[in-house]
Each structure stands twice: as structure tokens, then as C-alpha cells.
């Protein structure tokens, strides 16, 4: 017997609205922030916000995280396209509130970076992603990247606690 408190479930009508709201908010925040950076900063420009720790730093990233795979941008476009389909399928199957929030955030982030890859120079499917948030000596990223990372933390936590997409919890027999 499972003694965990039941997960909060979302009915289909509310689910569609919640999914759309979260995806649109993440996507819009990402694309609007990139547009502002492109209009107000020069490529390579740095603006210190918190000296030595946090800055705006406008770059174009042809690769993945940490500029990995710069010569294979089209591969990341394909991976992101497949990821969009997988996340949509998982969203359609989900009923648990926390899964819906995590997956919708993930979808909004993936769509934000995929839009850059598809429609920014140098060409369709090989576009460079606008990055502009720089924290310490860590990395330079954007709102879509942050959304993807936060969503993946949520997915990992939900998986660790055994919450399924449908709102039920894994039984001890399923975990074994």
C-alpha cells in the first residue's frame, strides 16, 4: 500500500489552459529578452550588474551548452525538434500539476532556443542562439536555457519521488 498523499490532478480543460499559459510565458520572456538585447547592446558588449558576479554579456552561440559542438548546429536543431515532440506527448499524457508545470516550462524553453536555430542567421536550422546572462565565471545563457535547467530539476525531483504523469506514485514493486 502506498501512504503518499495523492498528487494534485488537473482536469483536461484547465490543463490545456495552464500548459498554454506556461509555454507562452516562458517563450515570450525568452524571445522578448533576446530582442531587447539585440536592440540595445552591441555583440560582445558586457554590462556589469553586480560587479564581478553578474553581468549582461551579448554573444551568439552556434553550439550547445558551453559552446559545445559549434560546428554541428544542425544536429542540435534536430535534437531540439525531437525533444519538442517527446515533451508534447508527455504533456498530453500528464494529469499531475507538477508534471504539467515542469513539462510546459521545458517546452517553452526548448521552443525559445529552437526558434533561434530555425530563424536566426546564418541560416535555417543553423541559426545562432542569443545568450546574454553571465553569472560569475560559469557560463553565458538565456531565459530559455534557465527554463530548461529549472524544468529538468523538476523532472528529476518528480521522478525521484516516484510521481507518475497520471498523478499516481510508483509502487515498491515498480521501483524494484
Q: pLDDT tens, 34-66?
A: 999 999 999 999 999 999 899 999 999 986 655
Q: Which of 30, 51, 131, 166 is catalytic?
A: 131
The average confidence (pLDDT) of the chain is 90
Q: Which of 3, 12, 30, 145 is catalytic?
A: 145
Confidence (pTM): 0.90
Instruction: Give me the pLDDT at residue 1, please.
Output: 45
145 is catalytic: yes
Whether residue 173 has pLDDT greater than 80: no
Q: Which three cell numbers stand for residue 176?
A: 524494484
Query: Could you tell me the pLDDT band of residue 9, with boundaries at 50, 70 and 90?
Result: confident
With residue 98 as reference, give the H or E element that holds it.
Answer: helix 97-119
Query: Comparing C-alpha atoms, which of 80, 83, 94 is closest to residue 16?
Result: 94
Q: Quote the percentage of the chain above a pLDDT of 90.
A: 73
30 is catalytic: no
| Selected residue with higher pLDDT from 87 and 10 | 87
Amino acid at each position: 500500500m502506498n501512504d503518499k498523499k495523492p498528487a494534485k490532478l488537473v482536469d483536461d480543460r484547465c490543463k490545456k489552459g495552464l500548459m498554454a499559459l506556461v509555454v507562452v510565458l516562458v517563450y515570450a520572456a525568452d524571445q522578448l529578452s533576446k530582442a531587447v538585447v539585440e536592440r540595445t547592446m552591441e555583440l560582445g558588449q558586457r554590462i556589469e550588474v553586480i560587479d564581478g558576479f553578474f553581468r549582461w554579456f551579448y554573444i551568439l552561440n552556434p553550439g550547445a551548452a558551453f559552446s559545445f559542438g559549434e560546428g554541428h548546429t544542425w544536429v542540435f536543431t534536430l535534437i531540439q525538434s525531437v525533444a519538442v515532440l517527446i515533451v508534447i506527448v508527455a504533456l498530453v499524457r500528464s494529469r499531475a500539476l507538477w508534471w504539467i508545470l515542469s513539462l510546459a516550462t521545458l517546452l517553452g524553453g526548448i521552443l525559445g532556443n529552437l526558434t533561434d536555430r530555425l530563424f536566426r542567421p546564418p541560416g535555417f536550422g543553423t541559426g545562432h542562439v542569443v545568450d546574454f546572462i553571465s553569472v560569475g565565471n560559469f557560463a553565458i545563457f538565456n531565459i530559455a536555457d534557465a527554463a530548461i535547467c529549472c524544468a529538468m530539476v523538476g523532472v528529476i525531483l518528480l521522478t525521484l519521488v516516484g510521481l507518475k504523469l497520471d498523478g499516481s506514485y510508483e509502487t515498491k514493486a515498480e521501483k524494484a
